Amino acid sequence: MPSAYKMRIGDEWEEADEFFDDINPATEQVIARFPKGTGEDVNAAVDAALDSFDGWSETPPPVRGRILRDVAVLLAKDKERFGRLVATEMGKVLPEALGDVQEAIDTFEYFAGEGRRLFGNTTTSELRRKFSMTVRKPIGVMGLISPWNFPFAIPAWKLAPALVCGNTVVFKPSSDTPLCAWELVNLLVKAGVPPGVVNMVTGPASTVGEAVVKHKDIEGISFTGSRETGRWITANAGLKKVSLELGGKNPIIVMDDADLGLAVDGIIWGAFGTTGQRCTAASRVIAHKSIKKKLVDELVNRAKKLRLGSGLVKTTDVGPLVNKAAVEKTQRYVEIGQKEGAKMLCGGRRPSGKGYFYQPTIFDNVAKHMRIAREEIFGPVLSVLECGSLDEAIDIANSVDYGLSSAIYTRDVNKAFRMIEKIDAGLTYVNSSTIGSEVHLPFGGEKRSGNTREAGILGIDEFSHVKTVYVDYSGKLQRAQIDLEK
């Protein structure tokens, strides 16, 4: 019988009346059971977060930072076990799973340092004997809602800056990867986060997620997930600070002067790494017509050789999709692409047997108006479009609603900088794939890809308020904009 886990509320691991199954997507076996939380559980978690807020927000930021540093140490000490857990629970291959854990380590290390760098600004006043500055203040109780595809890294992206800024937290992890979330929260407890500062409530979005978003005492929401859910949060959160990272339809442009071997490596990695289940996955290739056939032939050759299987098996190149619904969605889009007139060159089906696997799939003859070229599939499906110039490629790239990541392969520095200038994307890579962000740089998109910049110094902005302070030591009434000297 799989182990039954508990939620974290206040200083207790709380029992529940109902549970849901946590499933290994490679085997379809139940690996754990987690509480099906309720709105009442969210209320209790918010109460605990409110009770602990004054004590935590008044704790000196360097002390908060030392706790985050200790979390990084604990993660690193047990990195192999956590990586194998990611490969088991989420499905990604072990090297990527270990990278997921390393990203969490790096994130906690980075934001531990921000405990001594919660900088404001000082500036001059327009009046004599008046001092002006800004200081950072915590937002309050934060609701953190994380996805399943990076079950250690993305919660770390949210938890670390939220905590170092002095906020307390109600954390709702994805129901596809609750065990990774439980392990991370357990490490925070071991590292010395005080009771009530981090609370975790597991369960469905329809109850737990809705209760978090609508709760009157939660002052900020940080969400990573689908655009549709992001829209719902925007409509229902009220006057909260809301940070949304909502996915992408990311292009790789391959120009006629590109190193094609390097481009193929980047495209295969970007399209089929994590089984295409990254918001930054390369789902579109926009290839110059003079090199497109050669590029496509090599992409198909490489894709056909990718080996499907459990992420724990060393020979596996592509792991499973996260659940049955993801397989069905991928199959649905493959059928849409065929009906729209795109040419499927490889893949296009689910192998027989256990596990939520799907073959790496490539479509050629894709037009920019087709749904497979415009909508986020979140599976191992790549669309190839043709262009005759860089300007046409950029036009195709910008024709979708999303604007998260982008890449170009070219040997011409002028083309590279033209791309950087004109592409609608929060991230642009030159001669590299669309995936591979580093934790000390901002992450986020434009257009319908969201409104946030997590990671790096801008991550602090997402989890803090800026207070402007004026100190007038003139000893008389001075009126800004009125008593300005000529």
| Closest to 152 (Cα-Cα) out of 98, 202, 228, 198 | 98
d(CA 419, CA 405): 12
Q: What pLDDT, on the 0 to 100 scale, is given for residue 358?
A: 98
**What is the phi/psi pair of residue 347, to 5°?**
80, -145
pLDDT averaged over consecutive 10-residue blocks of the chain (486 residues)? 91 91 97 96 98 98 98 98 98 98 98 95 96 97 97 98 98 98 98 98 96 98 95 95 95 98 98 97 98 98 98 97 97 98 97 96 98 97 98 98 97 97 97 96 94 91 96 96 85
Helix (H) or strand (E) holding 345: strand 343-346
Residue 437 placed within a domain: no
Q: What pLDDT, on the 0 to 100 scale, is given for residue 15?
A: 85
Residues 426 and 461 in one domain: no
Residues 263 and 145 in one domain: no
Residues 198 and 276 in one domain: no
Residues 175 and 295 in one domain: no
**What is the span of the domain harbouring residue 232?**
7-246+450-469
Residue 482 placed within a domain: no
Residue 479 placed within a domain: no
CATH code of the domain in which 426 resides: 3.40.309.10
Q: How many domains does the chain have?
A: 2
Residues 158 and 58 in one domain: yes
Residue 2 placed within a domain: no
Residues 283 and 191 in one domain: no
d(CA 321, CA 379): 7
Residues 236 and 285 in one domain: no
Residues 33 and 56 in one domain: yes
d(CA 278, CA 380): 10
- Written as six digits, the tokens of 94 are 């072990």
CATH code of the domain in which 241 resides: 3.40.605.10
Residue 438 placed within a domain: no
What is the pTM (predicted TM-score) of this model? Answer: 0.95
Q: What pLDDT, on the 0 to 100 scale, is given for residue 264?
A: 98
Residues 125 and 259 in one domain: no
Residues 84 and 19 in one domain: yes
Neighbours of 365 (CB within 10 A): 16
Are the CB atoms for 181 and 195 separated by under 8 Å? Answer: no
Residues 166 and 276 in one domain: no
Residue 404 placed within a domain: yes
Residue 195 placed within a domain: yes
In the chain, count H helices and then E strands.
14, 21
Catalytic residues: 279
Residues 226 and 287 in one domain: no
State the residue for tokens 């890449």: 407
Residue 445 placed within a domain: no
| Closest to 169 (Cα-Cα) out of 68, 35, 77 | 68
